[in-house]
Amino acid sequence: MPVILGIESSCDETSAAVCADGVMLSNIIANQTIHEAYGGVVPELASRVHQQNIIPAVQQAINNAKIHKNDIDAVAFTRGPGLLGSLLVGVSFAKAFALAQNLPLIDINHMQAHVLAHFIGEQKPAFPFLCLTVSGGHTQIVLVRDYFDMEIIGHTQDDAAGEALDKTSKVLGLPYPGGPLIDKYARLGNPEAYQFPEPQIPGYNFSFSGLKTAILYFIQKNTAQNPGFVQQNLPDICASVEKRIVTILLNKLTKAAQAYGIKDIALAGGVSANTGLRQGLQQAGEKYGWNCFVPKLEYCTDNAAMIAIAGYYKFLKGDFTNQHVAPLARMPF
C-alpha cells in the first residue's frame, strides 16, 4: 500500500497532498493573494511565497492525512512545465525531503497530472479517452491511450483559453484571476447579448488572440460612446464572452471525438471549473452519447492531489528519477 507525498509549485499555488494506495488522504492548497495587486502572477514574488508556504503546506498535508512522515514511501513533485523559480522551490523541497527520509523521487509532468486527476475517486474514464485540458497557460486536446501514453492532438497556437478569460476580465476592470469572476457574472447575463467571432483554425488546434483583440475593441468602442457601458452590462458581456470561448472549445472537442470514434470525454485544468463549460460538455454528451468526466472543483485548478495520484501510477511502474533532476519550464509529454 504505497503512501505518496505529492508536491505542486508550478505557478501560484503551493500545494501538498498525501495518497495511500491511490486513495487521497489530504490535499492542502495555499493560494497566493499577493498577485492581485499586479493583475497577473509576478514570478519573483511567486517563488518567494512558495518558499514561505511549502513547509507549512507539507506539514498540514501530513497531519490531515493522519500519518507520520516515516510512513511515506515516495515523493512525487511537479518537474514542469511552469515558472522556473516556482518549480525550483517544489523540486528542491522534494529532493531535500527524499534525501533526509531516504525515499525514491518521482518527477511528474504538470499537464499529464491534470489529466490523471480523473483517477482520483470512483468514476474513472476508460482508455482510450479524450481530455480537453484548459488552464491559464495551456489549451490542449489530449488523446489518452494509457496513464503515461498521451498524445496532444490539438493545442492553441497563441493564447490559452484561461488567458483569454483573464485578459478579458482585466479589460473589464475585474481583479486577477478573472476566470472565476467571469463565471460568476455570466450566470446572471444573456449569452446571446453580444456576438464575438469564432476563429477558423484547421484541425483540432485553437487560437484565442483574435478573439481577445475583438473583445478589447468591442469594449473600447462601446465605452467611448457610453462610459458606463461595462458597469451597466457586465453580466451580458461575461455571458457572451464565456459562451464564445465554450463553443470554440467544445466544437473542436466534438470534431476530435467524432474523428477518433471516442466516447469517453474528459475535462481538466483550471478552466474546467467553469460552469458554462461543464454544462456545455454535459449537453454535448447527451447529444452524442458520450460518457463525460469532470473533476471535482478542488482537482480542477492547480493542486498536489493530481501530482500524488500521477506519482502513485509511476510508483506502480517503478518509474523513479534521482537527486540530479532539475525543473523544466517547458516540458514535453
Q: Which is nearer to ligand KG4, 71 or 298 (CB)?
A: 298
**Binding to ligand KG4, residues 292-311 (CB under 6 A):** 301-302
Q: Is 85 in the site for ligand KG4 (CB under 6 A)?
A: no
86 binds Zn ion (CB under 5 A): no
Listed as own residue / partner, the contacts of 149-153 with beta carbons closer than 8 Å and 24 or more positions apart are: 150/112, 150/115, 150/333, 151/333, 152/333, 153/204, 153/256, 153/260
141 or 172: CB nearest Zn ion: 141
For the record, the C-alpha cell of 172 comes out as: 473589464
Choose which of 25, 107, 302, 303 interacts with Zn ion (CB under 5 A): 302
| Amino acid letter for position 235 | P
Q: Judged by CB under 6 A, which of 75, 142, 150, 165 binds ligand KG4?
A: 165
Q: Verify binding: residue 27, ligand KG4, rule CB under 6 A.
A: no
Spatial neighbors of 188 by CB under 8 A, at least 6 apart, are 235, 239
Contact 151, 142 (CB under 8 A): yes
> DSSP secondary-structure letter at 206?
B
CB of 244 to ligand KG4, least distance (A): 13
Q: Mutual orientation of helices 179-186 and 161-171 as an angle, nearest 10°?
A: 70
Query: Can residue 162 be called a binding residue for ligand KG4 (CB under 6 A)?
Result: yes
Cβ neighbours of residue 291 closer than 8 Å, sequence gap 6 or more = 125, 126, 263, 264, 265, 285
**40 forms part of the interface with ligand KG4 (CB under 6 A):** no
Binding mask 116-135 for Zn ion (x = CB under 5 A): -------------------x
Using CB under 6 A, pick the residue from 85, 136, 280, 311 that binds ligand KG4: 136
According to CB under 6 A, which one of 3, 7, 11, 305 is a site residue for ligand KG4?
11
Candidates 44-52, 206-214, 282-290, 299-307: pick the segment binding Zn ion (CB under 5 A).
299-307
Half-sphere exposure (Cβ direction) of 151: Cα atoms closer than 13 Å: 9
**Residue numbers at the binding site for Zn ion (CB under 5 A):** 135, 302
